[in-house]
Structure 1
Amino acid sequence: MSKTTTTLRIRRTALALATAAVLPFSLAACSDYDSDSAAAADPAAAAPDAAGAQAPPAAANGAADAAGAAGSAQPFGPACASVPKNGAGSFAGMAKDPVATAASNNPALSTLVSAVKQAGLVDTLNNAKDITVFAPTNDAFAKIPKADLDKLLADKAALTKVLTYHVVGRRLEPEQLANGSFPTLQKGMVTTSGSGSAYRVNGAAGVVCGNVQTANATVHIIDTVLMPK
């Protein structure tokens, strides 16, 4: 073998060894580059939240918030159990109608509805916007001696004064009844007190079914007729 041939073989062997030594580092560098590129393309996939888990979907949060809101807006009180479950007189049915119409579909408010018609206040109440009505039940009117009630029903001016005293010019949520004082459409004031699901109006009338929603009003059904001073 000539000296030239031997030299060429030595050079080829050295080159092969050098290539074998460099190749693993090149592959490792390519692998790191691919990982970094994937992370940059999808940062959400590469970065979990602070708790180490992905955040819940926005839709799930929205559903939970809606459920909480619905729960806080439910009617309350012992007399709510007697409200029809279905039809126009149910809570869902009353929510579709303005307040005087909605009340006419509730059998427990028939005396109030007759009084509202007698005073000519049906359109006034139905056309009002965002009001609160403290609505006396039939039993509440029955507490008034018959002769006095008949006299009241026959006097349109006096009846209007009494009925509009039961109406506040804005919607009142249950928590606002805890310790409140509110002007009425009659121009007098009503006061409220209580907590939880037990509230009183003017210290005398108890709320027996509160937070009933109609299309234009919040209704708190009460067990005593309120009399303005």
Structure 2
Amino acid sequence: MRINRIRRATIAVTAAAVLPLSLAACSSDDNGSSGDQGSSESTEGTTGGGMDEGEDTGADDSAQEETGAAAQTFGAACAATPAEGPGSFDGMALDPVATAAGNNEALTTLVSAVDAAGLVDTLNDADGITVFAPVNDAFAAIPEEDLNAVLADQDMLTGILTYHVVGERLSPEQLEDGSFETLQGGTVTTTGSGESFTVNDEAAVVCGNVQTANATVYLIDTVLMP
């Protein structure tokens, strides 16, 4: 009987010693789980911040896109220029001026005249010029008989076309009250401000500040005569 009492006492003491350790272990597991959850939430918060930064970067990219060649142009006729491809403003900026004009549907008559005058290489090889480029409607306004006579006379045609070219790039600000010598040897005058300019008080700029690889182009609604 005495031995049984000793055994029961020993078991009771052992249980008393083990129970607190078990409880402590359970408490430690619970705390560890809570800590993991807190870490996960913290990580999720960090990830969310990264997405916000990504969105800001997208806005910056959009702002950069607005600084392209198209953003520099002005005038009602600019709207007819395609948004993409060789004939777009960005596409024209990659080519020399005669090639770039050939990709613009509004300048097909001018390009034909330049080709007839043998001026394609002259314009493409020039370094930093301005071209006042008459649109198709400007040539269409000339009586057909007169236009055909000019196209048939290479010297006259060359003189008229080179009168539309200035040997430097001109910004819109320079057109506000300007007088410039042309490759033909004569002088063109410009007036205006903002997005409204005229050349020789007769030709209106309908799409301005178009950039090509070697020239600045101002599309005008009238053919200039020396």
TM-score calculated relative to the size of structure 1: 0.69
Residue 71 and residue 98 in structure 1: after superposition, are their counterparts in 2 closer, same or farther (change >3 A)? Answer: closer
Contact 1:73 1:211 in 2 (8 A): no
Contact 2:69 2:89 in 1 (8 A): no
Matched, 1:157 2:155: yes
Residue 178 and residue 78 in structure 1: after superposition, are their counterparts in 2 closer, same or farther (change >3 A)? Answer: same
Query: Match of 1:227, SS?
Result: coil
Partner Cα distance (1:209, 1:121) in 2:
23
Partner Cα distance (1:144, 1:71) in 2:
32
In the TM superposition, residue 70 of structure 1 has moved relative to its aligned partner by: 6.0
Contact 1:100 1:122 in 2 (8 A): yes
Partner Cα distance (2:155, 2:168) in 1:
23
- Number of residue pairs matched? 165
In the TM superposition, residue 72 of structure 1 has moved relative to its aligned partner by: 10
| RMSD, aligned CA | 2.0
Higher helix share: 2
Structure 1 alignment gaps of length 5 or more: 1-62
Contact 1:95 1:215 in 2 (8 A): yes
Report 1:21-60 matches (<5 A): none
Residue in 2 that maps onto 1:135: 133
1:110-149 C-alpha deviation (Å, 9 max, x unpaired): 0000000000000000000000000000000011100000
Q: Aligned partner of 1:149: which letter?
A: L
Residue in 2 that maps onto 1:87: 85
Partner Cα distance (2:176, 2:160) in 1:
23
1:165-212 C-alpha deviation (Å, 9 max, x unpaired): 000000000011000000000000000000110000000000000000
Residue in 2 that maps onto 1:178: 176
Q: Aligned partner of 1:227: which letter?
A: M
Contact 2:93 2:213 in 1 (8 A): yes
Matched, 1:221 2:226: no
TM-score calculated relative to the size of structure 2: 0.70
Q: Aligned partner of 1:168: which letter?
A: V
In the TM superposition, residue 162 of structure 1 has moved relative to its aligned partner by: 0.1
Matched, 1:97 2:89: no
